[in-house]
A and B are shown apart, each in its own frame.
Chain A
Amino acid sequence: MADRVLMKGNEAIAEAAIRAGCRHYFGYPITPQTEIAAYMSRRMPKVGGVFLQAESEIAAINMVLGAASAGKRVMTSSSSPGISLKSEGVSYIAGSNLPCVIIDVVRGGPGLGGIQPAQSDYWQATKALGHGDFQLLVFAPNSVQEMVTAVYDAFENADRYRMPAMILADGLLGQMMEPVVFPERESVQFEKPWALTGTHGERKHNIINSLYLTPSELEQTVLDRYKVYDEVKKTLPKAELYLTGDADVVVVAFGATSRVVKSAVNSARAAGIKAGMIRPYTLWPFPVEQIKEGCRNAKNVLTVEMNMGQMVDDVKLALECSKPVAFYGRTGGVIPSPNEVLAEIKKLAGGEK
């Protein structure tokens, strides 16, 4: 039986990455995720791995591109403004069909924003982290323990589908300490015949590239990638359904916000309101079927986020606009309280019961 240890979320991410076989980390300091880099700088030399503090987030993500080209399990981490800087490299990585893991410990924005927890990078992560037609796998854990699971899931599925994977955390999950058990989980490894390791005179050269000057060729590479995305949409969507079976009011929330919402749902139940919660664990692919299933008996749906409602459209589309979807959120680093969420649930349930 593995030991329970008390760890910060950021440190748990770093330790889980090493256990999942990551031996290459390239980063640049930014609050509130710097503990990941600090942990890697301590641990990587002890396990024969590489820690490198780059001159910028731009350089770090391109070092990731280089290491991924060599077939290595590689990770970088940052927070919102730094992720914006990485977006160029992420687009090239996606366009080159390279796997890697990117951690975004989200803080309030836009601009330099703040350093307190937020979820305002939802659009950036799920819709447009860079130019061109592409997607990232996006995992949204809600506890330090689940950060560990998400790191394993991210590395394995990035390799399986040859695409970048992101863990969308937030300053709350990154900074808080919780007991965590590192599972005896053997990380699945994949053959990488496409990797650049030198031809050794034994094969034709491998080329890793995202440039196709002939439109029909470029179109075909995108279409091929979207076939992979179709497969991903069938296999990966995952969500937690909590008390949704008979729920009149279903709240959709991800990440740290879901823990606030769970308290509010419990309070609503105690007050006689049939409330439930759906917590997407994968933000892309979005758990469409799970949302439909969880909202089957709902009269009202509420999304609660630490942003201005960036997930609302995805929930509406999942429900094909068949039910009203309300929104409650705080942003800029403000965390919604259980009482605020409870008040919204009560409003939708028709007032005090």
Chain B
Amino acid sequence: MAIVYKKSSCLTDAPLTYCPGCCHGIITKLVAEVIEELGIDGITVGVAPVGCSVTAYNFFTCDMVEAPHGRAPAVATGLRRSLPDNVIFTYQGDGDLAAIGTAETVHSATRGENITVIFVNNAIYGMTGGQMAPTTLPGQVTQTTPYGRDPKTAGWPVRVCEMLATLTGTAYAERVAVNNVPNIRHAKAAIKKAFQNQLDHKGFSIVEVLSTCPTNWGMTPEEAMKWVDDKMIPYYPLGVYKDIDGEAK
């Protein structure tokens, strides 16, 4: 019988700890498939963050380290400078990468650190039960913005790819989504490019993946997928923001 689908060999048998309908599962799978397709599992070292994907070290078959909140790019820098022939990636959420770890993110990018960053933006702090994230949209209700995020008092959401694209050290920054099949296929191609860039010594590559949090958004998984289209993508347009290969739009 022909095999039409199988789990990536770069995923362990540990059950994913994500809520039903959450896109972390899809994104984790895409990263594992890319690692498998590039044949780099044996030389890859991953850095897990603090947040919903804190136990990512249990899901990937490659060597893994768990970083303090927001410090994954600094930990990855220490690994990068110690293991010149390995592939180093971080897998981080929005609170981790764009709030508490902003300095580590910006400076690893501006150093042109040759690492791959997978940035999962779901516009909320999921692990702690649904508080405002740096990427929470104006008007979005969370546990700490019960009347909706008011930019006058809570500030504006940060657009990470646009910000990092201004830095000379950033080789590649693209925002993708995984809320439908074409978007998933495109997201996988972007993640693959971000890893291939590292193998080609091009420097700092980041893929921002718009994700969902049905649990804390208070939606069904289907409504959450639609919310990505209706609310998130208009504020966070998909596309390539920086590509030193000259493909930036």
Contact = CB atoms under 8 A, between A and B. Distances in A.
A284 B249 CA distance: 58
B54 interface: yes
B81 to A, nearest CB: 5
Interface in A57-113: 58-60, 62-72, 74, 88-89, 92, 96
A65 B67 contact: yes
B107 A205 contact: no
Most buried by B among A56, A62, A201, A209: A62
Given A62-B68, A88-B68, A199 B63 contact: yes
Query: Chain A, interface size: which category?
Result: 35 or more
A199 B78 contact: no
Interface string B48-71: 000000110110111111111001
Contacts of B77: 52, 59, 63, 66
A198 B42 CA distance: 5
Interface residues of B, number: 36
B83 interface: yes
B57 A209 contact: yes
B141 interface: no
A210 interface: yes
A63 B78 contact: yes
A68 B67 CA distance: 12
B74 A66 contact: yes
A67 B86 CA distance: 13
B68 A92 contact: yes
B203 to A, nearest CB: 16
A58 B74 contact: yes
Contacts of B57: 207, 209
Contact of A69 (B43, B44, B62, B65): B65
Contact of A208 (B58, B65, B82): B65
A200 interface: yes
Nearest to A89: B68
A224 interface: no
Interface in B96-131: 103-104, 106-107
B31 to A, nearest CB: 14
Interface in B5-55: 12, 41-45, 47, 54-55
Given A55-B107, A63-B74, A210 B66 contact: yes
Nearest to A26: B78
A198 B62 contact: yes
B65 A64 contact: no
B76 interface: yes
B79 interface: yes
In the complex, the 10 A-B pairs of residues with the closest C-beta atoms, listed nearest first: A66-B78, A62-B74, A70-B82, A63-B78, A55-B107, A62-B71, A196-B63, A67-B78, A66-B75, A198-B43
